[in-house]
Amino acid sequence: MQRSDVLITGAGPTGLVLALWLSKLGIRVRIIDKTSAPGTTSRALAVQARTLELYRQLDLADAVVKKGHRVAAANFWVKGAPVTRLPLSRVGEGLTPYAFLEIFPQDEHERLLIDRLETFGITVERNTELLGFEETGDDIIATLRLPDGQQEICQACYLAGCDGARSIVRKTLDTGFPGGTYQQVFYVADVQASGPTFNGELHLDLDEADFLAVFPLAGEGRARLIGTVRDERAEHAEGLRFEDVSSRAIEHMKVKIEQLNWFSTYRVHHRVADHFRTGRAFLLGDAAHVHSPAGGQGMNTGIGDAINLAWKLAAVLSGGAEAKLLATYETERIAFARKLVATTDRVFTFVTAEGRMADLLRTRLAPFLLPKMASFETSREFLFRTVSQITLNYRGMPLSRGVAGHVHGGDRLPWAHDGEGDNFEPLKCPTWQVHVYGDTSDEMIAWCHEHHLPLHVFDWRPAFETAGLGRNGFYLLRPDTYVAIAETCSDPKVIARYFRDHGIRPFFGRS
């Protein structure tokens, strides 16, 4: 019987990133997908700044930035004319090395992840479907259907359900998936076209309760139209053709379609699974949460799930932590998923609300308010922080402790840079590490050395204060770069106690 450390079901972005991270950490993975080839349609477009920050650990960030398209501005249209232009090219300046909106279609993104996975000697097993599984104390025993139709029984220490919204893993676990389905039907179309909206920027039509956006793709005249339809057309979504919806884009945003490359309709649900873990089986990505694509959060959240789980699974499998560490995956990720689904639901409901009042808000008030809001750095910064996922944090959760400066245990480490350097540089290595901004004690230096815990001491500079970091003290960082401890003293016993309490032995790992 084949045996792997982790059996990953589903080679969408979530499964591929999990496989990459685990492979980098020396864990034996097997990744299967029931389809014969990777997806060829663009689907999710936005790669958020937080994803790019974390991609530095896999040396992927530069490749994504190079292959993708940086959006310079978002334009809002009313009655056939642009009314507001919101510059986006450096919208998060000073907050992250990736202070812009990056568009990189999901099919190209998946191909990049697959190529990178192959450098670790791992190939996605295609035409291989998970039919069911059971847990037998120390193992998962799974039944697979192989490309030749034969069945295989295989064994794994853990099962990762990255198998999308209709997840068989979730169904086998009998985990509830409460929520609802939007009455609108979404359509997506990749087109070759021309007109004023084909200038490499993002365009959003505020005219009607049905939503319409034109997203630029890399390449001259290439764009993605995303829209919704309701009324009687939504009841016959399967029969909806591009001709039925394209007239609106043509009328409202003066799009001249030259070629249609891909058109699809789909219904969107807003749901979060009741649990993200049952015993040795985990749910990640769309298998665990689905919501409106407005805001470009779905794929990025799945990738975030994968990174959160990867280091924990690797630690437990390599003897670097007790199995209780795995319970923190659900605690940390379900809280964010619930908040995200509630937020995207509120935004989407507002944007697509019907009635005279809603129309007035969109077509009169929004064009007036948006430029005002855009002119305030604080409102621009708030929007960027939220959408880019750099404010996502695990404050108040079991693995998070203390406060130093403006940084709490559970926060993303703030980015601080100036002519002398960048405090994110050491984060490329996915290991536990300690950062000190200012001075530390001899005891701390000796203790970290003795325990092989990387210690990075940065001479105090104004850039650290601007970023909200505390002087002296220390930050213990997890392998996924979130702050475990934010502490004002320089006593290494605080670290020793933390590791003891959580059953973590980070220095005795096999990788």
State yes or no: residue 14 binds ligand FAD (CB under 6 A).
yes
For residue 411, the minimal CB distance to ligand FAD (Å) is 24
Binding ligand FAD (rule: CB under 6 A), the pick from 45, 60, 313, 341 is 45
- Residues 432-471 binding ligand FAD (CB under 6 A) are none
Q: Helix crossing, 327-351 with 298-317: angle to 10°? A: 180
Taking the C-alpha atoms of residue 355 and residue 368, their distance in angstroms, rounded to an integer, is: 20
Query: Beta partners for 270?
Result: 180
Which letter does DSSP use for residue 415 in this model?
P
For residue 485, the minimal CB distance to ligand FAD (Å) is 31
For residue 170, the minimal CB distance to ligand FAD (Å) is 10
State yes or no: residue 304 binds ligand FAD (CB under 6 A).
no
Region from 39-47, 51-59, 382-390, 414-422 binding ligand FAD, contact rule CB under 6 A: 39-47
Classify each residue of 118-146 as buried b or exposed e, where b means 16 or more C-beta atoms within 10 Å of its C-beta. eeeebebeeebbbeebeeeeebbebebbe
Taking the C-alpha atoms of residue 422 and residue 308, their distance in angstroms, rounded to an integer, is: 24
For residue 125, the minimal CB distance to ligand FAD (Å) is 9
State yes or no: residue 506 binds ligand FAD (CB under 6 A).
no
State whether residue 205 is helix, strand or coil.
strand
Query: Beta partners for 130?
Result: 144
Binding ligand FAD (rule: CB under 6 A), the pick from 216, 293, 414, 470 is 293
Binding ligand FAD (rule: CB under 6 A), the pick from 299, 370, 390, 483 is 299
State yes or no: residue 264 binds ligand FAD (CB under 6 A).
yes
CA-closest candidate to residue 165, choices 247, 96, 71, 266: 266
Contacts of 204 (CB under 8 A, 6+ apart): 74, 75, 76, 77, 211, 212, 213, 214
Residue number, 295 or 426, with CB nearest to ligand FAD:
295
Site string for ligand FAD, 74-113 (x = CB under 6 A): --------------------------------x-------
Binding ligand FAD (rule: CB under 6 A), the pick from 227, 285, 409, 430 is 285
State yes or no: residue 227 binds ligand FAD (CB under 6 A).
no
Region from 41-49, 192-200, 393-401, 419-427 binding ligand FAD, contact rule CB under 6 A: 41-49
For 400: left if phi > 0, alpha if psi spans -120 to 50, otherwise beta; the answer is beta
Contacts of 132 (CB under 8 A, 6+ apart): 142, 143, 168, 172
For residue 430, the minimal CB distance to ligand FAD (Å) is 21
For residue 326, the minimal CB distance to ligand FAD (Å) is 19
State yes or no: residue 298 binds ligand FAD (CB under 6 A).
yes
Q: Total number of residues binding ligand FAD (CB under 6 A)?
A: 32
Cβ(352)–Cβ(228) below 8 Å: yes
State yes or no: residue 35 binds ligand FAD (CB under 6 A).
yes
| Structure tokens, 149 | 């139709």
Q: Locate the DSSP E strands across 385-432.
A: 403-404, 407-408, 417-418, 421-422
State yes or no: residue 286 binds ligand FAD (CB under 6 A).
yes
- Residues 164-203 binding ligand FAD (CB under 6 A) are 164, 168, 188
Q: Exposure of 258 by Cβ count < 10 A (0-12 exposed, 13-18 middle, 19+ buried)?
A: exposed
Taking the C-alpha atoms of residue 286 and residue 337, their distance in angstroms, rounded to an integer, is: 10
Binding ligand FAD (rule: CB under 6 A), the pick from 92, 302, 405, 409 is 302
Residue whose entry in the numeric block shows the structure tokens 């990744």: 31
Cβ(447)–Cβ(498) below 8 Å: no
State yes or no: residue 229 binds ligand FAD (CB under 6 A).
no
- Per DSSP, helices labelled H in 291-426 are 298-317, 327-351, 356-360, 366-375, 377-387
Residue number, 304 or 473, with CB nearest to ligand FAD:
304
State yes or no: residue 409 binds ligand FAD (CB under 6 A).
no
Region from 10-18, 177-185, 189-197, 458-466 binding ligand FAD, contact rule CB under 6 A: 10-18
For residue 402, the minimal CB distance to ligand FAD (Å) is 33
- Residues 138-157 binding ligand FAD (CB under 6 A) are none
State yes or no: residue 412 binds ligand FAD (CB under 6 A).
no
For 79: left if phi > 0, alpha if psi spans -120 to 50, otherwise beta; the answer is left
State whether residue 143 is helix, strand or coil.
strand
Cβ(89)–Cβ(100) below 8 Å: yes
Region from 43-51, 307-315, 346-354, 495-503 binding ligand FAD, contact rule CB under 6 A: 43-51
Taking the C-alpha atoms of residue 409 and residue 478, their distance in angstroms, rounded to an integer, is: 11
For residue 269, the minimal CB distance to ligand FAD (Å) is 11
Query: Beta partners for 154?
Result: 142
For binding to ligand FAD (CB under 6 A), which residues are involved?
Answer: 9-15, 32-35, 43-45, 106, 129-130, 162-164, 168, 188, 226, 264, 266, 285-286, 293, 296, 298-299, 302
